[in-house]
Every structure is written in C-alpha cells, then in structure tokens.
Amino acid sequence: MSIKTWTTGSTDRADPETAEALRVLYVAVTRARRLVALALSDTHLTLVRAFLTEWDIAHRTLHAHPGEQTVLPL
C-alpha cells in the first residue's frame, strides 16, 4: 500500500490492490475504540506524522531517531 496515496487522498487513481489495502486500513482505524498503533519506516513515519498534524489528530511517536529500531516486548 502506498502511504503517499493514503496521506494525499488520491485513491481514485490507486490500483485495485492499493485501494483494497486502504479500505482495510480505514475499517481497522475507524473501529478501534481507544488506540491504533502503526509500525512505520522512518520515511513513512515522517509522512504520517505530518498528515496527522495537518488534520489535528492527536498522536504520539515512540521515537524519532532515523535508523533506530525499537523492539517492544509481546
């Protein structure tokens, strides 16, 4: 799925596979009751953070250090 497609809203030109992935993401996010967690690469984290800020959606990132990986216990 293209994060750029999601953050720009240009789904009308998305291929069928991307369009379906966006629908699945939409359903997952809108049905969450308290928390949605996304695991993103550094590049995608920057795009999504800007998108959420632009839409005034409360969010928090676990880290903002490029190239660093954070492992969470299960």
Number of domains in the chain: 1
Between CA 74 and CA 58 the distance in angstroms is: 25
Looking at 1-74, which runs of residues are DSSP E strands? Answer: none
Residue 67 covered by a domain: no
Please, are residues 1 and 18 in contact by the beta-carbon 8 Å criterion? yes
Amino acid in position 21: A
Q: Which residues contact 40 (CB under 8 A, 6 or more apart)?
A: 3, 48
Sign of CA dihedral 38, 42, 48, 52: positive
- Which pLDDT value is given to residue 29? 83
- Which pLDDT value is given to residue 17? 87
pLDDT band at 11 (very low <50, low <70, confident <90, very high): low
Residue 1 covered by a domain: no
Instruction: Answer whether residue 1 shows pLDDT above 70.
Output: no
pLDDT digits 0-9 by tens, 29-66: 889 888 888 888 878 888 888 888 898 888 888 776 66
Q: Which of 36, 34, 31 is nearest to 52 (CA)?
A: 36
- Which pLDDT value is given to residue 74? 61
Give residue 33's domain range. 14-55
